[in-house]
Amino acid sequence: MKKWISSFVVCGAALAAVGNVHARDTKHLLPIETAMAVADSKDKLEGNVKFYFGNQKSPKVLAKLGSDSTSKKTNAFGKSDETACNWAFLSALVQLEKRAIQLGANAVVNVVSNYQHNVYSSPTEFECHAGGIMAGVALKGDFVKIANK
């Protein structure tokens, strides 16, 4: 009986430790420029859609075609928070790009972070939340047709 109780206590302590690892939710504000410079971004994004973050000035908007949001998560296990966050950010951009193409848009403007519906607007940074095994980025923006320059 004592052996069983000892095993139960050890297992409980191990589960509590694992639970604490999974509960981490670290907020990061990371540079968009760095995430966009990752080699994978050139391979994953088609490049026909321009992104304008926060209050970044875009060419003249000819037509607004809609708005949408995306929330992407990625496996963060064994990766730095920055690496996982950059990957989740890229995944969110890919999804916005696909939607823009479907709508006939050539740009997404007013792109802001929207993690758990809390808006963070910046022309230079995005918000990411990282935990022990997952990292997540949520973005929203407006799909538009802009004048080509």
Which CATH homologous superfamily contains domain 25-146?
Answer: Hypothetical protein apc22750. Chain B (3.30.110.70)
Q: Are 59 and 46 in contact (CB under 8 A)?
A: no
User: In a 3-state reduction of DSSP, which class is residue 95?
Assistant: helix
Tens of pLDDT along 66-76? 999 999 999 99
Q: Is the pLDDT of residue 132 over 70?
A: yes
Tens of pLDDT along 7-22? 544 444 444 444 444 4
Q: What predicted TM-score, i.e. pTM, was given to this entire model?
A: 0.83
Angle, alpha carbons 44-39-27 (nearest 5°): 85
> What residue segments make up the domains of the chain, in order of their start?
25-146
